[in-house]
Amino acid sequence: MSENVKKSASGGTAKMETTATGAGTSSLLTRRTALKGLAGLGAAGAGLGAMPGFVPYIQAQSSAPIKIGFQVHRTGIGAAYGRWYDRVTTAAATLINEQGGINGRPVEIVAEDDGTDPKRGAEVVEKLATQAGCDVAYGTLFSHVVMGSAPRAGELKIPYFVVSEGHHVASGALNRWTLQPGICDVKSQVSAMAPYITSTLGKKVTMVYPDYAFGHDHRDSLVPAIQAQGGEVIAQIAIPPTETSFTKYFPQIPRDTEVLYHVMVGPAVLTFVKEMGEFFGPSRPEIFGFIDSLEATDLTNPGLEYLDGTYFWEGMPRYAQEGGPQFDAFYREKVGCDANGASVSDPKDISTYAHMFGCWETMFVIKAGMEAAGYAGPSDRQKLIEAVEAMGEMPASEMHPQGAKIFNGKTHQVFGPQYISKVEGGKLVLQHTAPIEAGMYPDEVDYTTMSF
């Protein structure tokens, strides 16, 4: 196995990664071929487990690495996510290289910090595409950064794989070069949550959300979803994402609120939860939050006792559940997470478990797409997009540990299961799993009819 140095787009050397050549390829751009690629990944993983150290080799057309340009939130409001997105991306690349790379070529991650800033995000995409010579751009989380970056990716004609949740892709607001194949969007999540909220917690809902693109997706999706279940959103409270204290907002919550729905993000979320507890005391409504509010946060922190008995959406359950799927255990081991969703080397280093799986799954979608397309270089970028568009069902596997999925090639959006957990004794205990169908909605765009 050869050693390959992972470098940032600015030229700095990061850590060493082991890469290897191998893995077969096919040039057929069919749905069946793409799905075979995905299924083959799971089989390859099983084979590796049976034969330690074995790596399949073939003669590749080029020994040059496949360069995946990683647009990462190292700094800014998304830094906690960026840190774990980086760990998961590195783990996925390591496994892919252990399995022989992509089309017999090693994978190299070229990382560049976008500061969680839209303007800088567009600059990063250009840098990855033109200066670093990356084959694809990948990894963006925060919606406003995606919205600022995707148009530049379209202009540069570089595949742009986002791991964001935002409805921007499926809404048709972007371009054919932008896809979200590894994580569900907000509209799907909210649609799947609404029946549980109204049937279990209450029908009069007040929502508190951050006043930018991600929060607007929740605002725009929750109202019709709750109404469809016979409920009503009686108040919507928008809070600037830079806010550091929230006490002044809580008096705006109507007294007849039955469910308080919150989806705050950023470094002040701990303050938000503590101040919410101080405001309501023991006489609170039911509380349903998106775990975005407490990603990378230890639920045993002082002041969070108030959350006991409240509910959260999770993209993937942070705490290992009794009788949980075997793929979860495999994934935890590879990304270095313990049963509580913390780093195996530091129990206080809590992961962004509900989101970061999207990086793992997207990396393997890129691999499967490139192998289905017979990807050899930038001239095959269009073939790569078409190959991913042809993917349909994605079975649950080591490559898709969050659960089975369906990718909609027309909308460039994946759909999967959603999870609702309850805080009990400082842990999140799974209460309900919403099936894929609960989060599906009519197409709003057909990117396959758009030109490249």
What's the whole-number mean pLDDT along residues 303-330? 92
Q: How far is the CA of 202 from the CAs of 4, 32, 140, 286, in angstroms?
A: 55, 44, 35, 8
Q: For the chain, first and last CA: distance in Å? A: 38
Read off the pLDDT band of 294 (50, 70, 90). confident
Residue 304's pLDDT is 86
Nearest to 363 by CA among 120, 99, 126: 99
CA dist 95 and 97 (Å) reads: 5
For residue 89, pLDDT over 60 is answered with: yes
The structural domains of the chain, with segments of one domain joined by +, span 2-184+353-416, 186-314+417-439
Specify which residues 69 forms β-bridges with: 110, 137
**Does 208 or 21 have the greater pLDDT score?**
208
Q: Does domain 2-184+353-416 have CATH number 3.30.470.20?
A: no
Specify which residues 160 forms β-bridges with: 137, 178
Say which residue the tokens 């998106």 belong to: 290
Residues 6 or more apart whose CB falls under 8 angstroms from that of 114 comprise 71, 72, 73, 76, 120, 121, 123, 124, 140, 145, 149
Nearest to 354 by CA among 417, 281, 288, 435: 417
CA dist 52 and 57 (Å) reads: 15
Give the CATH architecture of domain 186-314+417-439: 3-Layer(aba) Sandwich (3.40)
For residue 32, pLDDT over 70 is answered with: no
Predicted TM-score (pTM) of the model is: 0.85
CA dist 407 and 169 (Å) reads: 13
Nearest to 408 by CA among 215, 185, 173: 185
Residue 60's pLDDT is 56
Condensed to tens digits (0 to 9), the pLDDT of residues 33-56 reads: 444 444 444 444 443 333 333 344
41-45, 294-298, 425-429, 444-448: which is most confident? 444-448
Per CATH, 2-184+353-416 and 186-314+417-439 having the same topology is answered yes
Q: How many other C-beta atoms lie within 10 A of the C-beta of residue 230?
A: 9
Nearest to 233 by CA among 292, 171, 168, 288: 288
Residue 95's pLDDT is 98
Share of the chain above pLDDT 90, in %: 75
Condensed to tens digits (0 to 9), the pLDDT of residues 349-396 reads: 999 999 999 999 999 999 999 999 999 999 999 999 999 999 999 999
Averaged pLDDT score across all residues of the chain:
88
- The 3 state secondary structure assigned to the chain is CEEEEEECCCCCEEEEEEECCCCCCCCCCCHHHHHHHHHHHHHHHHHHHHCCCCCCCCCCCCCCCEEEEEEECCCCCCHHHHHHHHHHHHHHHHHHHHCCCECCECEEEEEEECCCCHHHHHHHHHHHHHHCCCCEEECCCCHHHHHHHHHHHHHHCCCEECCCCCCCCCCCCCCCCEEECCCCCHHHHHHHHHHHHHHHHCCEEEEEEECCHHHHHHHHHHHHHHHHCCCEEEEEEEECCCCCCCCCCHHHCCCCCCEEEECCCCCCHHHHHHHHHHHHCCCCCEEEEEHHHHCCCCCCCCCHHHHCCCEEEECCCCCCCCCCCHHHHHHHHHHCECCCCEECCEEEEECCHHHHHHHHHHHHHHHHHHHHHCCCCHHHHHHHHHHHHCCCEECCCCCCCCCCEEEECCCCEEECCEEEEEEECCEEEEEEEECHHHHCCCCCCCHHHCCC
Nearest to 369 by CA among 357, 387, 386, 381: 387
Share of the chain above pLDDT 70, in %: 86
